[in-house]
């Protein structure tokens, strides 16, 4: 097992970020095309496909809790290696099983989702272990950049490498293999125990649940409902409604290309934000996300291509504001030596939002016909998001003095 006793060289941060990029490429070469695969290759209906994906996400995140404990006990590097190998086995199974083996499809997707969830927790833990406390936001921005390289590579490769029913299954084998090879140079990722004990202990907000404020938890859940709905529905909409197999992949690639330089700049500027202001900045990003849905829905019927470009730009701004600072907030709220458990519990909340978003994504396409009806639904999602995000932001601003009197700004 890799870890503190491994004789292999530790390649450090470059290996971590490169492994993350290939792991994300594997995920995004498959997941955005699940509805296409489930309804085409495996013959499921839209509602059935949505239920399968929602159950997969919810159940896989439940498995992230024991995964987080394994990471705390044995190190993140070994888990990343093992999860990549297990994911390769799950994808290979999807290639080999008969198209009508629905139960096997569900079980293999469950395994694939569980490995992705635990792997995300492992990278988050590694970044905290390898970063100074004052550089957490910058480190998580770099992790986001690596993940978004996968957002560019995965969907584009799946869209252009071969038939849409085949490429999303073959490409993850390649990308997981590359990520696993790099994981051999990551190691366990643990700092010396004395160094961990010397790290300042975060003083939790007395008005928070489990060290994380309630406004943050509410906004985090609703954010993932919105994100997952568009991730799952957009590629299917482009393929089946607009008749363009490549447009969904182009959108994700465009958004990934925009977010990389934006995250680089945001990570350096947001590193100066005090810990008492992190929840407020996170919710500001969520407000931009809701606004992007309103704009996208308003323009999609008349200007579909321009609306997709505008949506990618606004989504980029939302992600740059919310992702690195949200991860840094979670990490600084966790207990030293138990970060895997902290991140995995937050992943449960994420999974609930993703499951709800998956049902919405599949349901809206099954229930609505035409770009106009879909645009109305997307505008409604944006308006509902604002209903949650605005009160959460107000509560977060009022709670700031109680959260951390000593600002780092």
Residue range 246-258, pLDDT digits in tens: 777 777 777 778 8
Q: Is residue 6 part of a domain?
A: no
Question: b vs e for 82-113, b when ≥16 Cβ sit within 10 Å of the residue's Cβ?
Answer: bbbebbbebbbbbeebeeeebeebbebbbbbb
User: What is the rounded distance in angstroms from the CA atom of residue 407 to the CA atom of residue 331?
Assistant: 17
> Whole-number mean pLDDT of the chain?
77
Residue 196 is predicted with a pLDDT of 44
Higher per-residue confidence, 151 vs 371: 151
Percent of the chain topping pLDDT 70: 79
Q: What is the pLDDT of residues 255-276, one digit of tens each?
A: 778 888 888 888 888 877 777 7
Q: Is residue 114 part of a domain?
A: yes
Segment 371-396 mean pLDDT: 82
Q: What is the pLDDT of residues 390-408, one digit of tens each?
A: 988 888 887 654 444 333 3
User: What is the rounded distance in angstroms from the CA atom of residue 366 to the CA atom of residue 72?
Assistant: 42
Alpha helix positions (H), 334-406: 339-367, 370-403
Higher per-residue confidence, 339 vs 29: 29
Residue 25 is predicted with a pLDDT of 92
pTM, rounded to two decimals: 0.69
Higher per-residue confidence, 24 vs 238: 24
Higher per-residue confidence, 381 vs 161: 381
* Mean pLDDT comparison of 21-35, 301-315, 363-377, highest-scoring range: 21-35
Q: Is residue 3 part of a domain?
A: no
Q: In terms of residue numbers, what domain contains 116?
A: 13-403
- β-partners of residue 208 are 213
Higher per-residue confidence, 7 vs 133: 133
Residue 176 is predicted with a pLDDT of 92
Q: Is residue 409 part of a domain?
A: no
Segment 309-334 mean pLDDT: 84
pLDDT at 201 over 60: no
pLDDT at 194 over 60: no
Single out the residue of 125, 116, 117, 144 nearest to residue 319, CA to CA.
144
Confidence of residue 335 (pLDDT cuts 50, 70, 90): low
Find the range with the poorest average confidence among 60-64, 197-201, 224-228. Answer: 197-201
8 A C-beta contact, residue 25 and residue 155: no
User: What is the rounded distance in angstroms from the CA atom of residue 43 to the CA atom of residue 104?
Assistant: 14
Confidence of residue 237 (pLDDT cuts 50, 70, 90): low
Segment 208-228 mean pLDDT: 78
Residue 152 is predicted with a pLDDT of 83
Q: Is residue 5 part of a domain?
A: no
Structure tokens at 314: 């606004």
Find the range with the poorest average confidence among 141-145, 336-340, 393-397. Answer: 336-340
Per the listing, tokens 């997952």 go with: 228
Q: Is residue 162 part of a domain?
A: yes
Overall domain count for the chain: 1
pLDDT at 215 over 80: yes
Confidence of residue 372 (pLDDT cuts 50, 70, 90): low
Report the CATH number that the domain containing residue 309 is assigned in CATH: 1.20.1250.20
8 A C-beta contact, residue 183 and residue 19: yes
Q: Is residue 8 part of a domain?
A: no
Residue 371 is predicted with a pLDDT of 59
Higher per-residue confidence, 338 vs 117: 117
pLDDT at 8 over 70: no
User: What is the rounded distance in angstroms from the CA atom of residue 33 to the CA atom of residue 155?
Assistant: 8
Q: Is residue 78 part of a domain?
A: yes
Segment 351-363 mean pLDDT: 75
Residue 342 is predicted with a pLDDT of 75
| 390, burial (CB in 10 Å: exposed 0-12, middle 13-18, buried 19+) | middle
């Amino acid at each position: 097992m890799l870890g503190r006793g491994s004789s292999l060289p530790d390649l450090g941060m470059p290996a971590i970020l490169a492994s993350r990029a290939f792991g994300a490429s594997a995920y995004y070469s498959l997941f955005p095309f699940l509805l296409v695969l489930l309804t085409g290759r495996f013959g499921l209906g839209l509602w059935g496909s949505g239920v399968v994906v929602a159950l997969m996400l919810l159940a896989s995140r439940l498995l992230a809790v024991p995964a987080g404990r394994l990471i705390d006990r044995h190190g993140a590097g070994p888990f990343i290696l093992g999860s990549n190998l297990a994911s390769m086995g799950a994808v290979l199974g999807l290639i080999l099983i008969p198209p009508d083996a629905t139960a096997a499809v569900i079980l293999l997707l469950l395994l694939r989702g569980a490995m992705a969830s635990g792997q995300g927790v492992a990278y988050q833990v590694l970044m905290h272990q390898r970063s100074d406390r004052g550089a957490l936001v910058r480190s998580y921005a770099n992790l986001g950049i690596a993940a978004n390289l996968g957002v560019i590579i995965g969907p584009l490769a799946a869209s252009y490498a071969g038939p849409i029913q085949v490429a999303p299954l073959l490409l993850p084998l390649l990308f997981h293999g590359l990520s696993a090879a790099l994981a051999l140079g990551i190691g366990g990722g643990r700092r010396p125990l004395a160094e961990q004990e010397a790290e300042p202990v975060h003083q939790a907000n007395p008005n928070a649940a489990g060290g994380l404020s309630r406004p943050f938890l509410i906004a985090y859940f609703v954010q993932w409902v919105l994100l997952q709905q568009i991730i799952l529905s957009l590629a299917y909409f482009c393929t089946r409604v607009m008749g363009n197999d490549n447009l969904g992949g182009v959108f994700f690639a465009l958004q990934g290309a925009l977010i990389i330089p934006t995250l680089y700049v945001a990570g350096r500027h947001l590193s100066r934000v005090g810990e008492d202001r992190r929840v407020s900045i996170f919710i500001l990003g969520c407000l931009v996300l809701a606004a992007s849905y309103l704009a996208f829905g308003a323009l999609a019927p008349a200007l579909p291509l321009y609306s997709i470009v505008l949506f990618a730009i606004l989504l980029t701004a939302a992600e740059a504001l919310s992702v690195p600072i949200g991860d840094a907030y979670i990490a600084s709220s966790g207990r030293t030596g138990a970060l895997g458990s902290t991140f995995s519990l937050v992943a449960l909340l994420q999974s609930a939002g993703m499951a709800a978003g998956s049902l919405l994504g599949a349901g809206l396409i099954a229930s609505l016909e035409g770009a106009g009806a879909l645009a109305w639904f997307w505008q409604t999602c944006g308006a509902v998001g604002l209903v949650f995000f605005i009160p959460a932001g107000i509560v977060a601003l009022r709670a700031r003095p109680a959260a951390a009197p000593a600002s780092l700004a």
